[in-house]
Structures are given as C-alpha cells and as structure tokens.
Amino acid sequence: MADEVPKSQEMIRIDHNPPATGWMDTPTVIRKGMYCYAAKPQSVEYVGMPNPHKWNPEEEDWGLPENWVEIIVDGLRDRLDRFRSLKIFMDTCVRCGACADKCHYFIGTGDPKNMPVLRAELLRSVYRKDYTLAGKLMGKMVGARKLTLPVLKEWWYYFFQCSECRRCSVFCPYGIDTAEITMIARELLNLLGLNIDWIATPVANCYRTGNHLGIQPHAFKDMLDFFVDEIEDVTGVRVKPNFNRKGAEILFITPSGDVFGDPGTYTAMGYLILFHYLESMGLDITWSTYASEGGNFGSFTSNEMMKRLNSKMYAEAKRLGVKWILGGECGHMWRVIHQYMSTMNGPSDFLEQPVNPITGTKFENAKSNKMVHITEFTADLIKHNKLNLDKSRNDHLRLTFHDSCNPSRGMGLLEEPRYIINKTCNHFYEMPPNTIREQTFCCGSGSGLNAGENLELRFRGGLPRANAVRHVHEKHGVNMLACVCAIDRAALPPLMDYWVPGVGVTGVHELVGNALVLDGEKKRTTDLRGEDLPGMEDEG
C-alpha cells in the first residue's frame, strides 16, 4: 500500500484555492488512498446493525435498500428531535469561514469540502430542503438540495474524512462542533449499513471479546505475561499483574492497542511497573479481560453502539466489586468517559468517590462518574513525592508533547501529562502555541480512520501536526513525540517517518516506567525498548 502514497515533496504541493464550479455542481470523486474499505457484512450483522451487505465504494451500486431516502429523511428527523445540538448547528451557521483553515484535512488536502463549514453544509443542504420553509420554497438560493445517491456518497466520503477532533469548534463563534455533525451523519450512514470496516470490525470484536482487536481472555493474559518477561529483562524485577480479581479496590482499563502494538506496549509496561512499585504502598488493582478495551469505536458508529460497548466498564466494576476505575492513556476513550459514560450507563452509585490509596487525595473532579485518568493519578503521586524517579534515564530523549484532540477539547487534560513529563525527563520542548493545548492538531487518523488503505488521507491530515514537530525537531533536536492516546501511538510513527524521519513516539507512562526506580532492580543498561542508555552500557 505504502508504495502508492505520493512522495512528500509531491504531497506538499497543496492548492487551497477552490475550483471554478460551485460546490454543489462539483461532483465528488471517490479516490483510492482517501477512503477506508467498506464494512464486512458479518461485522455489521454481529452487532445487529441495519443492512449488512457486501459493497465497494468505488462501484456504482452500493446495495442500498429501496427506501433508503425515506430511511435517511426519517432518521434525520428523529435525530433533530433528540439532539438540540444538531438543530442549532443546522440553523445558526453564518458561513463566516473562521473554521475553514482550522481543519487538518483541509490544510493537508486543499479540498474545499474538507472545510468544516462545507462539510457541515453537505448535511445542512439536505436538512434545509426537507425541514425548512425557506429551503422548500427557494431551494438552491438558500443552499438547499435534494438527497440523491451522489449526495449520499459525498456524505460517506467526507464524513469519513473528519476525525471528530473538534478543532474547528474552538474557533466557531457559535461553538458549532463538526464532530457532533459527523457523529450524527455517521449514525445516518449506519442506518444503511454504510460503515467502514476499520470501525465496524473493531466494534464487533469489542462487543464479543471485550476489546477492538478481538483478543480473547487467555491471549490477553499471555500478552501481559510477555510484558512481565520483558520488564524482568530490563529491570530484573518480576511484576505480577492480576486479572478479573473480585474484591480489588481499583479496576484498571486501558485501550487494547497498548497491549497489542509497539510503541503502545511500552506504555503498557510503564503501567505495570508503576502498579508494581505502588503495590507495597497499598495499591490494590486488577485488570479485566471482559472490559479489556478503553477505546470505543462504537462512538464512531452511533450513540447506541457507544453505550453498548461502554457499558462493560461499569458492569465489570460492579461484578468485581471495586471502588473505582482507573483509565489508561487514550484519546476518544476519554471523550466517552468524561462526557458520555455517566449519562449513558450511570449513575454509578455502586462505586465510591475515587481516592488515591497512596496519597489520600480525593478526586473531586471524578466524584460522579468514578473514573480517574492515569495522568491525574500519577501526577498526584509525584506531587506527593511518592515516586522515586531517575530523570537521567530519559536523557537520551528530547521530547515534545502532542495533546490528543479529545483529552484537550473534550476534557481539558493539559497540565497533568506535562507535569509528569517534566518530572521524568530533562529535555522537554513545546511545539508552537497554535498547535498545542486546545488548538492541538489531530494525528490525522482519529475516529477510526487509522487504516492501511487510506494512508494518503492520514499523511495529508497529519501534515499540520508533523509540521509543528518538524519545527521543534529542527530547532531543539527533538527526537521523541510524547502523547496520551493509543491511536496516536499507532498513527504517529508512520506519520513521523513520512514527514519528519528521526522522531519516535512514546506514551507518557513509558517515560514513567523508564524513570521509576524499583526496589531490588538491577542497574538499567537499556530503556524499556531495549535500546542502550548512553553512559550506562553494560560493562560486562
């Protein structure tokens, strides 16, 4: 696949000027490299979503039910009645264009339909035609158009070119949130069985096995046991994670990507090392194989599917009888936990307000939904001087930090990871202010778009992020990009290789794992990746 991606010198030649023809009269061409494969029917069927069928986006016939227009029109009306956000966002846009060049996909493609305002107009135009008096009477004059098959295909193409990152919504004077519009548009497309496979199959996997990757319980344990061996090789200490243990005080849930693929695995080792370190201080924590997924690809499908997958967290916490839940580093996982979980599957009265058993800190900010972010937890530990950290073991890294979209714009987790980085590393450099914190740029692969067949889209969408990394790479010699998101850890390494070779990607807790001095450990000569620590090479 990779050989089909244009070279970076070609890709950077981006024309941001719109074509001569108006957007309604410019047909959408579904282009290879920019879209993800269609959902496999068995995955759609497994979770009982409508119209599971085999289809190909590049073919004319998409295998739609005969009454598909009616299904969409009814589906849209139903959602207008259920979401005030949708109504307001359909009615209030003045097309000021402030959002236009805020979208990483627009910056990277120059395609005007990737301007958030126009992405929303794709749906808004149909809304006007069917639900507003002005649209019915005056049609195109007020930007209304009929729902036709090309319009539906255009929806599919462009609502799967939005990563629901919410950057545009920061700049919108009315707070119009394209993520919300995309989420609802995808719900509508799912009514016709038009999901992408990179979302539909993880959803089906997660429903069945508890995680997106379809890792079955025994294999999940095997993978963690493998990390235990790796950790022993590096530190000489054998950590002992436990699973599905009733009566534990805390349940730990992290995205399964951390268990499955590098460099997320090193972050998972970081968690294991931290938990081992705290065990003797009174930490009583367990992993679950049933709720073995922090992420939620259901949230890229429909609110109902998001609820179904998310329900396992509270259900498992209740079954095991824990007091509260600790969550690992992940992006959209935290959007769901922070803004949706309690509403969907709470109130979680069977749990207790989270208290850090080591420091006694009561997490006021999580008193209702009872779930704490691991960087909140670790930052609290460090602040109370509970961790013995040797920063010099991260001296080979010159770091910058990528704020993941959802923790920054759907939560506000900005200082906690930075605090940990500063306490575990000596060389930390921020990217330019317009590219971090609430203005952070997406990795280009969020919201289920991190497939292999749409690399061109991912590299184009990731350009603004990569460009900012390149800036600190050249200015400060940054060689490592830290993040708190599993999709980032999967998506950013190829992005860096493409735009900024020489920059690696790490989770924040990998840094913790490197720096944390364990009782009885041997002299560390390598980091968790097995790479030699300069100046600490094995003398033997």
Quick one: tokens of 158? 């462009």
Nearer to another protein, 226 or 390 (CB): 226
* Spatial distance between the Cα atoms of 30 and 456, rounded to a whole number of angstroms: 13
Among residues 111, 416, 488, 510, the one that binds another protein under rule CB under 8 A: 416
Binding mask 113-152 for another protein (x = CB under 8 A): --x-xx--x----------xxx-----xxxx---------
**Contact positions with another protein (CB under 8 A) in 500-539:** none
* DSSP conformational letter for 534: T
- Extract long-range pairs of 219-228: CB within 8 Å, 24+ residues apart: 220/256, 220/259, 220/289, 220/292, 221/289, 223/259, 223/260, 224/259, 224/268, 224/272, 224/287, 227/265, 227/268, 227/269, 227/272, 228/272
Nearer to another protein, 308 or 398 (CB): 308
Residues 79 and 57 sit within 8 Å (Cβ to Cβ): no
**Under the criterion CB under 8 A, does residue 216 sit at the interface with another protein?**
yes
**Contact positions with another protein (CB under 8 A) in 326-345:** 337-340, 342-344
Nearer to another protein, 75 or 464 (CB): 464
Nearer to another protein, 420 or 518 (CB): 420
* Spatial distance between the Cα atoms of 125 and 145, rounded to a whole number of angstroms: 5
* Spatial distance between the Cα atoms of 326 and 357, rounded to a whole number of angstroms: 12
Among residues 42, 388, 426, 434, the one that binds another protein under rule CB under 8 A: 434
Quick one: tokens of 80? 């207008």
**Contact positions with another protein (CB under 8 A) in 27-56:** 48
Quick one: tokens of 374? 């691991």
Among residues 1, 14, 149, 517, the one that binds another protein under rule CB under 8 A: 14
Q: Under rule CB under 8 A, how many of the chain's residues touch another protein?
A: 122
**Contact positions with another protein (CB under 8 A) in 246-285:** 246
* Spatial distance between the Cα atoms of 275 and 240, rounded to a whole number of angstroms: 9
Among residues 30, 69, 73, 88, the one that binds another protein under rule CB under 8 A: 88
Q: In what order do the strands lie in the sheet with 480-483?
A: 399-402, 480-483, 504-507
- The piece of 57-65, 69-77, 195-203, 365-373 that touches another protein (CB under 8 A) is 365-373
Nearer to another protein, 102 or 186 (CB): 102
Q: What's the Cα-to-Cα distance from 162 to each of 159, 217, 248, 355, rounded to whole Å?
A: 5, 33, 40, 38
Binding mask 378-397 for another protein (x = CB under 8 A): -xx--x--------------
Among residues 64, 76, 107, 234, the one that binds another protein under rule CB under 8 A: 107
Among 272, 266, 258, 267, which Cα is nearest to 228's?
272
- The piece of 190-198, 315-323, 444-452, 488-496 that touches another protein (CB under 8 A) is 315-323
Nearer to another protein, 31 or 82 (CB): 82
CB of 307 to another protein, least distance (A): 5
